[in-house]
Chain A
């Protein structure tokens, strides 16, 4: 299971569990198919960093992944504070590839 962060300074060792997330930060799990990525972010950090890091991890072009939280589409400028994430339960973002259809 990859354990990556949007900011290299925020990286925590892979052996740490959820209880060891640095003070003032919240652990986010991004689920993309079978893959999961964990980040520790401040409630005021814009998701842009999370999105870009995930896209780099899976070698996806910028803007081609869609991120959701409880069915709500997330925008790069939003933060955990803004979406009023329920921090008493694990915060899971679901990522999906762009959908296109014609025929």
Chain B
């Protein structure tokens, strides 16, 4: 409890937060090893996909869920203020109702987008991570997402190093990741339950996206020059039946180019869930 109070003070949180009791995983999430750790990607606990998922699930089960996003948000803002000296974009605070599925520890858009908000604080400006709704909109046509590129370096093909997007496959209740490397002309598909049929579908959409993006920016584009990579080797394969969200968070972390890499062992998530069975 004492360590939490120190962190709460460090984050500039009020007395309300400093006197509440929180479940153990939240301590881990909020307890940096050294003062100032929140500014460092090396030791930032907010960047750990497993901790983030477990903490959200714990808080949900303890009916304390609504406090966590507020704390995460404040810490993000604190980092942003110190790192960039400016007010960050407003972040969406997930609602407890919207996260009801976390009771069975599946991961929804709010959790992943909150994590992406943290990643973006540490990613290089030439690496952009779109939110979970980008691909769904892209599926309806490039015109639906043209305006999403306003804040990127243009032309994207020349100045962006990488674009990363989480993929939500609604019919399969599944998450995956696509990383587009503009420097090396490689599209990588990372899926913790790799299925060739999904890869072919994603490949088709992404190829069209690249062609449309090039046309939108009046750049030349040759699909033949691009390599699409996707297999069971591109991402650790999950062993649990509900863990794809955590693997997606780890893959997003790595695709965003944040060091050190987060490589999940296939059984790591199942084991972590089992060991966190302290919940009421």
Contact = CB atoms under 8 A, between A and B. Distances in A.
Partners in one complex: yes
Interface of A: 61-64, 66, 68, 70-75, 78, 82, 94, 96-103
Interface string B235-254: 00010011111001000000
Contacts of B172: 103
Contacts of A75: 90, 92-93
A100 B193 CA distance: 16
Nearest to B112: A99
Nearest 4 A/B pairs, CB to CB? A71-B148, A102-B242, A102-B106, A101-B175
Interface residues of B, number: 42
A4 B90 CA distance: 28
Interface string B140-155: 0000110110100000
Contacts of A100: 101, 106-109, 173
B130 interface: yes
24 contacts: A63-B95, A63-B98, A66-B109, A68-B137, A71-B148, A73-B92, A73-B113, A75-B90, A94-B133, A96-B136, A99-B133, A99-B170, A100-B101, A101-B168, A101-B174, A101-B248, A102-B105, A102-B106, A102-B173, A102-B242, A103-B172, A103-B193, A103-B238, A103-B242
A102 B245 contact: yes
Contact of A68 (B133, B238, B243, B245): B133
Contact of B98 (A64, A71, A74, A94): A64
A63 B90 CA distance: 18
Contacts of B173: 100-103
B107 A63 contact: no
A102 B193 CA distance: 10
Given A100-B106, A103-B244, A62 B97 contact: yes
Tell me the interface secondary structure of chain A in the complex: loop
A103 B172 CA distance: 7
Nearest to A95: B133
Interface in B88-128: 89-90, 92-93, 95, 97-98, 101, 104-109, 113
Contacts of B174: 101-103
Given A99-B168, A102-B106, A94 B137 contact: yes
Contact of B107 (A72, A97, A101): A101
Contacts of A78: 90
B219 interface: no
A71 B132 CA distance: 10
Contacts of A98: 98, 108-109
Nearest to A89: B147
Contacts of B109: 66, 98-100
Nearest to A97: B170
A66 B134 CA distance: 12
Contacts of B108: 98-101
